[in-house]
Amino acid sequence: MEKRFGLLGAGNLGLSFAYALRKLGISFVGVNDILADRAKEASKLLNCPELKSHELAKTADVILLAVQDDKINTLYDSIKAHLSPETIVLIFSGTLSSSFIKEHPAVSAHPAQTFPFPKLNKNAFKDVYFVLEGDKEALKQIESLICAIGAKCIYIETKLKPLYHSMCVMSSGLLTGLLKSAEQIGESLGIDVKNRAEIILSLARNTLENALKENNFNSALSGPIARGDVRTIEENLASLTSYPEQLKIYKQLSFACLRIVEQKGGVSKEKIERIRKILNVK
């Protein structure tokens, strides 16, 4: 018998994932969201009714809990009595594992992708990595679905999920913070909003494109650290003395980049040690 799916939480990721499954011909028995507008939109896109959470739990064979991490436990507790023992519970979380779900086969899945808005295009999940863990039999079924929408699956130890999510945050959200810090310097220089955004984003894009071209980060490193340009680094640090936040970021990231310089070679050990001393990172 074809499994019936239900969506609890029609936010950006939940709706995007459910819509991708719907495009495969998978049927949804219902959708629920605390926001009426989101529930209504999801109902139309998934061609299913809006249901109360306990009603949805009674009818779904696979239920997607696509809500914020701090609400997943509470939501599951509110519906678990209405779920069949065989119902697969799929949660979307970078840090929360499925281990708290004892009564049902459960899987925790996290896409290494950003969802600032619902992604409803054909290739929304193409080549996106999902990190999975959970019940072995349920994993087989969920992995099959994820691969069917064009994504890739990898597995990590349950206890390492928070560390994995830290990697994702540094690659995405904190990258935005770094660029914002650069923009604040541009603002103090009197460069207008449009021009400073274009300068910063162009540099960031070129760096990412260089890394993507070689599929590694070492080849993308450029600037005074890569050249071992001690004088320029000293001047940069001096220019940032009135910007303590940016100064700290500059030092910490430059220190991290020194490891790349050491791996690549081309800069003398003497210069590397001078730069390390100048940065004075502990």
Task: Give the residue from 8, 176, 135 showing the smallest Cα distance to 80.
Answer: 8
Entry pTM: 0.85
CATH superfamily of 5-169: NAD(P)-binding Rossmann-like Domain (3.40.50.720)
Q: What is the pLDDT of residues 60-100, one digit of tens each?
A: 999 999 999 999 999 999 999 999 999 999 999 989 999 99
Name the residue ranges covered by the structural domains of the chain. Answer: 5-169, 176-279
> How do residues 29-60 score in pLDDT, each as one tens digit?
999 999 999 999 999 999 999 999 999 999 99
pLDDT < 50: residue spans in the chain: none
3-state secondary structure the chain: CCCCEEEECCCHHHHHHHHHHHHCCCCEEEEECCCHHHHHHHHHHHCCCECCHHHHHHHCCEEEECCCHHHHHHHHHHHHHHCCCCCEEEEECCCCCHHHCCCCCEEEEEECCCCCCCCCCCCCCCCCEEEEEECHHHHHHHHHHHHHCCCEEEECCHHHHHHHHHHHHHHCHHHHHHHHHHHHHHHHCCCCHHHHHHHHHHHHHHHHHHHHHHCCCHHHCCCHHHHCCHHHHHHHHHHCCCCHHHHHHHHHHHHHHHHHHHHHCCCCHHHHHHHHHHHCCC
What pLDDT, on the 0 to 100 scale, is given for residue 159? 87
pLDDT of residue 1: 52
The pLDDT of residue 152: 96
